[in-house]
Amino acid sequence: MPTMEEYARQPLADRLKRLERTADELAAALAGRSDAVLARRPDEKNWAAKEVLCHLRDTEESFMGRFESILAMDEPKFLGVSPDRWAEERQYLRSDAGAALAAFRRRRAETLAYLRKLAPGQLARGGVHATRGRMTIDDFVSMMAWHDDNHLDQLERALEGKA
């Protein structure tokens, strides 16, 4: 699995192709799985596959909001998110996996269409991430590619009952 830095060295087109595959990879991993399997946590600390899926759905919306803010403002500041709090407050375990996947697929398609329309100067615009410092839209694309890989791996482990 490439690191964020390795993704950053790849052409934008390659990183966008990586992002294109995620919804289909999620669908393949979830195919034929019962809700009980999707909602089973490997342990008290680690997420179930359904929680990983909902996290990806919700962070996709967050990434898009950041892109829009970066283009609308000069160097916006972004607060950190609390993924575990989202999982609890948004009741990820009670979510329908099919609906969550459909929402992720829709949001990802919107994100990809948005990113493909950006000019190089727009990709170089940035904002200040709470923990990572200044990040450009291009940097966020690298982070998204890494984020997808990371959580697909986490989802697969959860399906196997491993932390």
Number of domains the chain is built from = 1
> How confident is residue 151, by pLDDT bands cut at 50, 70 and 90?
very high
Task: Phi first, then psi: give them for residue 59, nearest 5 degrees.
Answer: -70, -25
Mean pLDDT across the stretch 110-127? 98
Looking up residue 111, the CATH number of its domain turns out to be: 1.20.120.450
Please give the DSSP secondary-structure letter assigned to residue 51. Answer: H
* CA distance linking residue 161 with residue 42, whole number of Å: 5
Q: Residue 5 pLDDT more than 90? A: yes
pLDDT at 34: 97
- 111, 60 contact by CB (below 8 A): yes
pLDDT at 20: 98
Mean pLDDT across the stretch 114-143? 97
Q: Which helix (H) or strand (E) holds 78?
A: strand 77-78
> How confident is residue 81, by pLDDT bands cut at 50, 70 and 90?
confident
pLDDT at 80: 86
- Which residues constitute the domain of residue 131? 4-159
pLDDT digits (tens, 9 = 90+) for 25-67: 999 999 999 999 999 999 999 999 999 999 999 999 999 999 9
